[in-house]
Structure 1
């Protein structure tokens, strides 16, 4: 059985230069790690180890599909809005207010 750290190292070695990211199914991860099952802490620990290299390891809410994505090339949200066609909309953005309910 492979630890989260060992799995993260393998993912980094194989996919560090992947530009679009890669997907895995639960079955894929079971086969790759030799685990029958795994907890959310395994996913979190794998993610933690990979973030040092600019990679995010995330899952859907059902933990059936997993995504290894590069995050180091991400741009700031303000830059992304500035790059959109309707630049004047940026002046209409206000902080999200918490609901009182």
Structure 2
């Protein structure tokens, strides 16, 4: 049974709107990044602490996220707003 184009369009719009909603706040952008990189449970449990502005963007400290590939604790996230006004993770690392 093939999906009708109408249903495909509705599903596409729902997914796109969810992505946009997540990127309206820095915390949502960080949680989306964590979930997208293979750890949706950590995205829900992560503790996000706002930092300050540096040259590479706004710094946020995240507790409770380990990278799946390296096993390292990634706790520093840097974010900027893009041209549309949505928050985007620009850099992630283990130290400032």
The structure richer in helix per residue is 1
User: For the superposition of Structure 1 and Structure 2, which TM-score range results when normalised by the shorter chain?
Assistant: under 0.3
* Greater Cα radius of gyration, structure 1 or 2: 1
Normalising by structure 1, report the TM-score: 0.25
Normalising by structure 2, report the TM-score: 0.26
The structure, 1 or 2, with the larger RCO (C-alpha pairs under 8 Å, 6+ apart) is: 1
The structure richer in strand per residue is 2
